Chain A
Amino acid sequence: MTRRSWIGIAMASSLFTACASGGPMDSLDPKGPIATDIDGLFRLTLNIATVIFVLVTGALLYAAIRFRDRGDRTPEPKQVEGNARLEVIWTVIPVLILASIAVPTVDRIFKYTSCADDALHIEVIGHQWWFEYTYPDDGFSTANVLVMPTETEICLDMSSDDVIHNYWVPKLNGKRYLVPGQDTVLLLRADEPGEYWGQCAEFCGLSHAKMRARVIAMTPDDYVAWLTEQQRPASVPVEGTIEQQGMDLFLGGQCVSCHNISGVTADNPALTAGAIYGPDLTHFSSRDVFAGAVLNHGDPNAIEDWIDNPPVVKPGSFMPNIDLTQQEIEALAAYLRSLD
């Protein structure tokens, strides 16, 4: 092939990837060594596929146009029934091409399905429809936002509390299921501090679309500071404030039957006995996003709208509409905002 046609194929291939780029979940914009490695393997395959596509459909189009019936000017065709040599050629060439990509494929499968000994372990439990993260060495759990250090291999030990979920943060790695009753692992590694978007990818019921994830990667120093902050018990509001009214509502109402706030709620046996429970709210407002990472603290009325009628935001939600008055909503929201 001429150099020009190689350039054409390279352009076709990069046009394809350009069309696919730009979003916060762009799998072709890797931000960690694992995702970068996978991306390289995909682009290699895509380039080969582009060459094959151009050659094969080119041959098809050429044949259909070049040999089209022009009436008497086109002679009756020779009745060729086949060609054994060609059959061998177009069997062997694909075998060789496939063998060449099979080698790195098998290598990467084994490389990325088990964790290194010195990896940092974080437990992930899938719930309809939010991800819970537990830091086993530090004894606390959080939700929706996974905080992890950069330059460290993270080993997610995953399981599910209900149905099958699928954890996916495209810029850091591919997907892995969270299966009830089984344990799976997923490796993550981020090069730079930043915020990475994720989502549950396996259909998991009514609000599957609203089961999103957020990963915050921070430098190892920042991470240590964050750990210390998270281990601190929750802030306690000053007597007589609206926040304190909210806390009383929280403790006196239904909230406490599903949510833990460290240092405020008594250790709730229901929360550890496998019953349905909600995110740990100890440092609720330190997390950018909540309610399955679909609501944003930057949005001024997000908390109020959510606690007013959760099933409107997330159909099927396990958090019910408990007919709070406007006053109660405001008090609870104020209290939740104080949980930094």
Chain B
Amino acid sequence: MATTAAPSSAPTIFRRPASNTGFWSWITTADHKKIGMMYGYTAFVFFILGGLEALLLRIQLAQPDSVFLSASEYNAMFTMHGTTMIFLFVMPVSAAFFNYLLPLMIGARDVAFPRMNAVSYWIFVFGGIFLYSSFIFGTTGPPEGGNLAEVASRLGSAPNGGWFGYAPNSGLRFSSGTVMDYWSVGLQILGLASLISAINFIVTVFNMRAKGMKLLRMPVFVWMTTVVAFLLLFSLPIIAVALFMITFDRNVGTLFFDPSMGGDPILWQHFFWLFGHPEVYILVLPAMGIVSEVLPTFSRKPLFGYPAVVFAGAAIGFMGFGVWAHHMFSSGVTPITQAAFGLSTMAIAIPTGIKIFNWIGTVWGGKVKLNTPMLFSLGFVGMFVIGGLSGVTHSIVPADWQQTDTYYIVAHFHYVLFGGAIFGLFSGLYYWFPKLTGRMFSEALGKWHFWVFFIGFNLTFGPMHWLGLNGMVRRTWVYAEETGLGPWNMVVTVGAFIIALGVLIFMINWTWSKRHGPIAPFDPWDARTLEWSLPSPTPAYNFAVNPVVTSLDDFWHKKYSEDADGRPVRRPEATALLTEYEEVGLNPPEPIHLPNPSYYPFMVGVGMPMVGYGLIYDNTAWGIPLLILGAVIIVGSFIGWGVEPLEEPHAEHHPDEPGNEHPGTDGEDS
């Protein structure tokens, strides 16, 4: 079969992609690991952009009555900072983890729909580029009837209505120009990417697990991925509808959110937060999954209360859909609504607490190695406790009337999303670095990164609690000196630059270690889950032989038995077993069919911004033709890939053929 497939007679537009390395292999790949890598690197680029935006905000706020940024620039910066960090960094970098690790952790050779996976990635890339192209093409102006002393600069010509784009301020009358169209259409495109990958992950988890891997034998990271995928599946359609409505309000003349014609601006808030609160858990649950892998490994103990942690995660997912109005306690919703959502918000603290207590239980009584991934995971737990507790103070509804829309809230969600999600994600980046690259990172630089990050983070976001309680309102580009907010704001700005230094240390560590780090053994942490039974970096086919699982943490139990005290004892055959894993892992006994590369997922991505520009510029001569062209490219690409040949000579892995090595060894730098 492998060598007999004749050149395809099916209709194709492009020459079939044939290279396994180099630029085109990355454009056409359907390998979940390459896609994961690309997700990660692309998201990191956006992380840098979002970080630079944050630094500009902080320079502006370092002193009272500052003139560093104009109002329109400041409004664009905070909108793009939030939108970038949420939709272009944390979500896609979580997708990077899901992509790379999910198949490895459940013992699969790829995701269920490899090319759909590539479609998700390319839609995300082009959606991000589209959103950012607002800085080049976007226009903005004062509200209808208002006056500006100067024309907005390019820096100020980006979406400027806040990441939750409240109506009617985001409507045409108050946001003339095109920047909010870039926002609503851009988020629509990005949401599509996440929706497609959510379906892909769900199907993968439920259909492609290794033999014997029952649901309650899945690693917690896989569980959290599954919960997140369901959250995406159910919450993204809500924001998609709302974004369509606001796009129509702006471009077609509907009046869903325009109160002057009977529309309801509060309805937008319900829509947005009905998506937006599950979104918070979409952002933080992947990190919780990572932490649930890292803590047991570095404590040399199984996760304490595995079923409790899993069910608490699922409970958070369910309850996450029932707390959205706590973002609206001051909106004038009825007292019954406020009471109900206050109570449900308190209730969500309970499963969150269960997770935290079980994590502490995991570390307790272990043999704790304080390596970089462990430091970041411990940091996650500590910072998340602060974010969780300040979250409980928001559920005290009258107190929230004081706190909402102030820096106290800004502090709270950065403790959850930065101290939580981002610390967890960095923990994961260090933890799986050897598996990704085949090399070890510098432990010294890693620890420097952690401590600089930890100090910078707390200097930045700790004082924001006080600023908020002392009356500093969110999204204000200047504050008066008499407010007395100057000194802490200066501290916050210094903290922000310390965080930037931490990111720099991380980048140095990553780029240096990737090329010059010591060669990693394939199980450097003496870990517990299946991916560590694979060579580092992971071969293209993942598993040379499909694994069979007999317990939770199967890999660990293959290495260790327990003595009468319940303490692990290394099995005498463990070393031989690992050697065998390594040999077989690099030399699959029979050819393995791998998903075909394809140009079409990339082309679907290319079509997306064309439709987007067409929608925004529908009143120009070229708008509608561009929209149609984009739609034709998208639909044509789906058809094109539908008729692609299933079997091709190069689609199989031949270990002995030169130039056909697994991608990790030579592909990453291209």
Tell whether A108 pairs with B484 under 8 Å between CB atoms, given A57-B385, A64-B378, A98-B349: no
With both beta carbons as reference points, the residue of chain B lying nearest to A35 in the complex is identified as: B402
Inter-chain contacts of B353 with A (CB < 8 A)? 90-91, 94
Q: Does A311 contact B (CB under 8 A)?
A: yes
* B174–A162 CB distance below 8 A: yes
* A105–B398 CB distance below 8 A: yes
With both beta carbons as reference points, the residue of chain B lying nearest to A25 in the complex is identified as: B471
Q: Does B356 contact A (CB under 8 A)?
A: yes
Q: Does B399 contact A (CB under 8 A)?
A: yes
User: Which of A142-150, A265-273, A317-325 interfaces with chain B?
Assistant: A317-325
* B565–A78 CB distance below 8 A: yes
User: Which of A165-173, A223-231, A236-244 interfaces with chain B?
Assistant: A165-173
Task: Mark contacts of B459-474 with chain A using CB atoms, 8 A cut-off: 1 yes-contact digit, 0 otherwise.
Answer: 0000101111111111
The 8 Å CB contact of B393, one of A49, A77, A182, is A49
Min CB gap A22→B, angstroms: 5
Residue numbers of B with Cβ under 8 A of A are 70-72, 75, 142-143, 145-149, 161-162, 166, 168-169, 173-175, 259-260, 262-266, 299-302, 304-308, 330-332, 334-335, 338-339, 342-343, 346-347, 349-350, 353-354, 356-361, 363-370, 378, 381-382, 385-386, 389-390, 392-393, 395-406, 463, 465-480, 482-485, 488, 562, 565-569
Q: How far is the CA of A162 from the CA of B170 in the complex (A)?
A: 12
Q: Does A52 contact B (CB under 8 A)?
A: yes
Tell whether A316 pairs with B71 under 8 Å between CB atoms, given A76-B568, A81-B306, A166-B405: yes
The 8 Å CB contact of B398, one of A174, A276, A320, is A174
Inter-chain contacts of B401 with A (CB < 8 A)? 38, 173-176
* A67–B389 CB distance below 8 A: no
* B567–A22 CB distance below 8 A: no
* A128–B146 CB distance below 8 A: yes
Tell whether A69 pairs with B367 under 8 Å between CB atoms, given A98-B347, A105-B397: yes
* A82–B568 CB distance below 8 A: no
* A83–B361 CB distance below 8 A: yes
Min CB gap B224→A, angstroms: 18
Q: How far is the CA of A75 from the CA of B185 in the complex (A)?
A: 58
Q: How far is the CA of A206 from the CA of B349 in the complex (A)?
A: 37
* A209–B147 CB distance below 8 A: no
Q: How far is the CA of A109 from the CA of B463 in the complex (A)?
A: 28
* B143–A162 CB distance below 8 A: yes
* A79–B399 CB distance below 8 A: no
Inter-chain contacts of B472 with A (CB < 8 A)? 25
Inter-chain contacts of A49 with B (CB < 8 A)? 389-390, 392-393
* A203–B470 CB distance below 8 A: no
With both beta carbons as reference points, the residue of chain A lying nearest to B566 in the complex is identified as: A78
* B469–A20 CB distance below 8 A: yes
* A16–B393 CB distance below 8 A: no
Centre residue among B262, B397, B401 by max chain A CB count within 10 A: B401
Q: Does A45 contact B (CB under 8 A)?
A: yes
Inter-chain contacts of A207 with B (CB < 8 A)? 71
User: Which of A1-9, A194-202, A245-253 interfaces with chain B?
Assistant: A194-202
* A22–B169 CB distance below 8 A: no
What are 8 of the A-B contact pairs (CB < 8 Å)? A49-B393, A79-B568, A87-B354, A179-B265, A200-B473, A203-B162, A276-B145, A311-B147
Q: How far is the CA of A114 from the CA of B370 in the complex (A)?
A: 55
Query: Which A176-196 residues have C-beta < 8 A from chain B?
Result: 176-177, 179-182, 184-185
Min CB gap B319→A, angstroms: 13
Q: How far is the CA of A200 from the CA of B404 in the complex (A)?
A: 12
Inter-chain contacts of B364 with A (CB < 8 A)? 59, 63, 67
Q: How far is the CA of A26 from the CA of B330 in the complex (A)?
A: 18
Inter-chain contacts of A59 with B (CB < 8 A)? 360, 364
Q: Does A264 contact B (CB under 8 A)?
A: no
Min CB gap A144→B, angstroms: 14
* A60–B474 CB distance below 8 A: no
* B149–A309 CB distance below 8 A: yes
The 8 Å CB contact of A203, one of B169, B356, B398, B399, is B169
Q: Does A164 contact B (CB under 8 A)?
A: yes
* A91–B354 CB distance below 8 A: yes
With both beta carbons as reference points, the residue of chain A lying nearest to B298 in the complex is identified as: A69
Tell whether A77 pairs with B367 under 8 Å between CB atoms, given A166-B405, A177-B332, A199-B471: yes
* A23–B485 CB distance below 8 A: yes
* B470–A27 CB distance below 8 A: yes
Q: Does A24 contact B (CB under 8 A)?
A: yes
Q: How big is the A interface, by class?
A: 35 or more
* A205–B350 CB distance below 8 A: no
Tell whether A110 pairs with B470 under 8 Å between CB atoms, given A67-B365, A79-B562, A315-B149: no
* B393–A64 CB distance below 8 A: no
* B469–A26 CB distance below 8 A: yes
Q: How far is the CA of A23 from the CA of B481 in the complex (A)?
A: 10
Q: How far is the CA of A204 from the CA of B342 in the complex (A)?
A: 26
* B168–A163 CB distance below 8 A: yes
The 8 Å CB contact of A102, one of B343, B465, B477, is B343
* A320–B393 CB distance below 8 A: no
Min CB gap B293→A, angstroms: 16
* B398–A109 CB distance below 8 A: yes
Min CB gap B571→A, angstroms: 13
Task: Mark contacts of A302-340 with chain B using CB atoms, 8 A cut-off: 1 yes-contact digit, 0 otherwise.
Answer: 000000011110011111110000000000000000000
4 pairs of A and B residues whose beta carbons are closest in the complex: A174-B401, A25-B471, A181-B259, A209-B476
Q: How far is the CA of A75 from the CA of B367 in the complex (A)?
A: 7
* B386–A53 CB distance below 8 A: yes
* B404–A201 CB distance below 8 A: yes
Inter-chain contacts of B480 with A (CB < 8 A)? 212, 294
The 8 Å CB contact of A318, one of B146, B306, B468, is B146
- Sample of 12 further A-B pairs with CB below 8 A, known A35-B402, A79-B567, A175-B401: A20-B465, A20-B470, A64-B368, A67-B365, A68-B370, A81-B306, A109-B398, A174-B330, A177-B330, A181-B263, A184-B332, A206-B75
Query: Which A45-103 residues have C-beta < 8 A from chain B?
Result: 45-46, 49, 52-53, 56-57, 59-61, 63-64, 67-69, 74-83, 86-87, 90-91, 94-95, 98, 101-102
* B330–A175 CB distance below 8 A: yes
Q: Does A11 contact B (CB under 8 A)?
A: no
Q: Does A119 contact B (CB under 8 A)?
A: no
Q: How far is the CA of A113 from the CA of B378 in the complex (A)?
A: 42
Inter-chain contacts of B469 with A (CB < 8 A)? 17, 20, 26-28
* A21–B301 CB distance below 8 A: no
Inter-chain contacts of B360 with A (CB < 8 A)? 56, 59-60, 63
Q: Does A140 contact B (CB under 8 A)?
A: no
* A77–B476 CB distance below 8 A: no
Tell whether A77 pairs with B301 under 8 Å between CB atoms, given A276-B145, A315-B148: yes
Inter-chain contacts of A199 with B (CB < 8 A)? 471, 473, 476
Q: How far is the CA of A95 from the CA of B405 in the complex (A)?
A: 28
Inter-chain contacts of B397 with A (CB < 8 A)? 105, 108-109
Min CB gap A288→B, angstroms: 13
Tell whether A310 pairs with B147 under 8 Å between CB atoms, given A56-B356, A64-B378: yes
Min CB gap A44→B, angstroms: 9
* B339–A110 CB distance below 8 A: yes
Inter-chain contacts of B369 with A (CB < 8 A)? 68-69
* B482–A109 CB distance below 8 A: no
Q: Does A208 contact B (CB under 8 A)?
A: yes
Tell whether A86 pairs with B398 under 8 Å between CB atoms, given A16-B465, A206-B72, A208-B475: no
With both beta carbons as reference points, the residue of chain B lying nearest to A105 in the complex is identified as: B396
Min CB gap B31→A, angstroms: 36
Q: Does A112 contact B (CB under 8 A)?
A: yes
* B331–A177 CB distance below 8 A: yes
Inter-chain contacts of A128 with B (CB < 8 A)? 143, 146, 174
Q: How far is the CA of A183 from the CA of B593 in the complex (A)?
A: 65
Q: How far is the CA of A45 from the CA of B485 in the complex (A)?
A: 24
Inter-chain contacts of B406 with A (CB < 8 A)? 27, 201
The 8 Å CB contact of A76, one of B265, B367, B389, B470, is B367
Inter-chain contacts of B266 with A (CB < 8 A)? 179, 182
Q: How far is the CA of A128 from the CA of B474 in the complex (A)?
A: 17
Inter-chain contacts of B567 with A (CB < 8 A)? 75-79
* A26–B301 CB distance below 8 A: no
